Structure 1
Amino acid sequence: METHANYTSFVAVGDSFTEGMSDLLPDGSYRGWADLLAARLAARTPGFRYANLAVRGKLIGQIVSEQVDVAAAMEADVVTLVGGLNDTLRPKCDMARVRGLLEEAVERLAPSCRTLVMMRSPGRNGPVMERFRPRMEELFAHVDALAARHGALVVDLYGSPALGDQRMWDVDRLHLTAEGHARVAEAVWQTLGLDAETDWQALLPPPARAGWAARRAADLRFAREHLGPWIGRRLTGRSSGDGRPAKRPELLPYEPPAPQDLVLRPDRVAGS
């Protein structure tokens, strides 16, 4: 139901999920659900301002130390906070520390903004994710508890069958495609009390069954190009975001890219 809410500013805090990987644009940059949401909010409100502090690979401690105070000082109408999942995917993870840091982030951000939005992040099925699922669910239970305590909104993406579809995920099996990000943007939009424009939980048509050889080739490509390097970074403490600045570090008026600049690469479309 439309609440006629009017949001004039939005700050996104987090990691690669909020940075927009793997919603790749022709210029090599990433768009993602936060940019899509900002564009839709900007279309409603002249002078709408947007900042995206998210950087790929960031752990919750880095998000707290590098992004939270910056976001709180901006005093935006809407702040989204998604973090901690990278910690749960490390070989060793102190969940008590993760919970404490996430609570610290919420305690700083909730008083600084009109609406704090948190998420139970989407997850796809597979042997890699199964190993870490108990940690993920512990994290999401903590998200629910913090949101209830501090009056934040929670977007529950974790249990969505639509977002669990492998066609919503890029070839790295860690990041959403353009279609997946569009659905997350719609889910957040609706959680903010705005009229639904699409059904973000609508299932894709049944997939064509790939042959055994094609599936094994895809598995080998994934292991060689993505899983191996990802494990290497986890074991050595390195991050894909080391030295990388935030994509949009200042809260400034937002002008979405022109439509002709948003033509997606064919290999980034869901189902391809």
Structure 2
Amino acid sequence: MADYQETLDFSSYAALGDSFTEGLNDPGPDGAFAGWADRLAGMLAARRPDGDFRYANLAVRGRLLDQIATEQVPQIRRIQPDLVTLCAGGNDILRPGSDPDLTAERFEAAVVELREHTGTLLICTGFDTKDVPVLRHLRGKIATYNAHLRAIADRNGCQVADLWSLRSVHDRRAWSDDRLHLSPEGHQRVALLAARSLGLPVAADPEAPWPARPEPTAAEQRRENLQWARTYLLPWVGRRLRGESSGDHVEAKRPELLPL
């Protein structure tokens, strides 16, 4: 694993993955999605006063693990950044009949290839879905996959951002209205966790308490659930039935290492 001194001197960073890493529902100043990876890149760039820092984000929403391995992982051989983050497999685990053991085997194959072409590799575990409607029944599969990811990290010298143990994202405010993607503050919490996992000092605690607020009534919660189902759940199910992906015809927002 990279030691503390090495983590302070990254001059380039490439992020791989799906909508989580693309940064959906976290609009930046230019209107494009930012997300935790862009926020982490900003933290890394700030540690290089000479301005010599480059960043690529190859993540695309809806991508399955095999697509990430085919489309994104080979690009690392070409650009060879100092740091790579790989967060993948979540969309696979969501699919009926998916096997977390087999998904982990394919994930490790991608990790082995990446380790040949980058100095430091950070991977992310999956979130704990115990409080998430519809997804809570997948908690056991996610936990199994996470156990594999930790073993893969140990075998291959990777750093780990443990999203499962990030308790602050259990607050509803960490998630956007679709309940599948993080809110801007949720992305910030993950960026802080990732930075800390790399050994970087961070300006805020990713587990800092949220401001107090009144809890919704049962009636308000029912109305919110019905609105969510109509607006987000039914279209999501429809895309699955039609074999469509939200990432169809979407390209990576930063396919090359460029100054941040």
- What is the TM-score with the length of structure 1 in the denominator? 0.88
1:101 has 2:106 as partner: yes
Q: Does 1:42 align with 2:55?
A: no
8 Å Cα contact 1:13/1:79 also seen in 2: yes
Specify the SS of the correspondent of 1:226. Answer: helix
Secondary structure of the 1:137 match is helix
Identity of aligned residues (%): 44
Q: 1:126 aligns with which of 109, 125, 132?
A: 132
Structure 1 gap segments, 5+ residues each = 255-272
Q: Which residue of 1 aligns with 2:222?
A: 216
The whole-number CA distance in structure 2 between the counterparts of 1:2 and 1:87 is 33
Q: CA deviation at 1:234?
A: 2.4
Partners of 1:74 and 1:251 within 8 A in 2:
yes
Structure 2: segments with no counterpart, 5+ residues: none
C-alpha spacing 1:235/1:90, structure 2 compared with 1 (3 Å): farther
Q: Which stretch of structure 1 is more off in the superposition, 20-29 or 31-40?
A: 20-29
Q: Secondary structure at the match of 1:99?
A: helix
Question: How far 1:2 sits from its partner (Å)?
Answer: 6.4
Q: Does 1:16 align with 2:22?
A: no
Match of 2:234 in 1: 228
Whole-angstrom distance in 1 between the partners of 2:165 and 2:199:
20
Whether 1:205 and 2:197 are equivalent positions in the alignment is no
Query: Displacement of 1:244 after TM fit?
Result: 0.5
Letter in 1 for 2:26: D
Two-structure CA RMSD over aligned residues (Å): 1.7
* Alpha carbons 2:13, 2:41 under 8 Å: kept: yes
Alpha-carbon distance between aligned partners in 2 of 1:26 and 1:9, rounded to the nearest angstrom:
22
From 99, 117, 121, give the equivalent of 1:112.
Answer: 117
Q: Deviations over 1:146-171 (max 9, x none)?
A: 10000000011112221111111111
Matches within 5 A, 1:126-165: 126-165=132-171
**Match for residue 268 of structure 1?**
none
Task: State the number of aligned residues.
Answer: 254
Matched, 1:7 2:10: yes
- Indicate the residue corresponding to 2:78 in structure 1: 73
Residues 62-120 of structure 1: CA deviation (Å, up to 9, x unaligned)? 10011001123211110000000011111231334312220111011012111000011
TM-score by length of 2: 0.92
What secondary structure sits across from 2:200 in the alignment? coil
* Aligned equivalents of 2:57, 2:178: Cα separation in 1: 23
Does residue 32 (structure 1) correspond to residue 35 (structure 2)? The answer is: yes
Letter in 2 for 1:133: R
Q: Which residue of 2 aligns with 1:186?
A: 192
Distance 2:183 2:247 in 1: 19
- Alpha-carbon distance between aligned partners in 2 of 1:32 and 1:126, rounded to the nearest angstrom: 21
Q: CA deviation at 1:26?
A: 5.8
- The letter of the residue matching 2:121 is L
Supply the distance in 2 between the matched residues of 1:26 and 1:42 (Cα, whole angstroms). 18
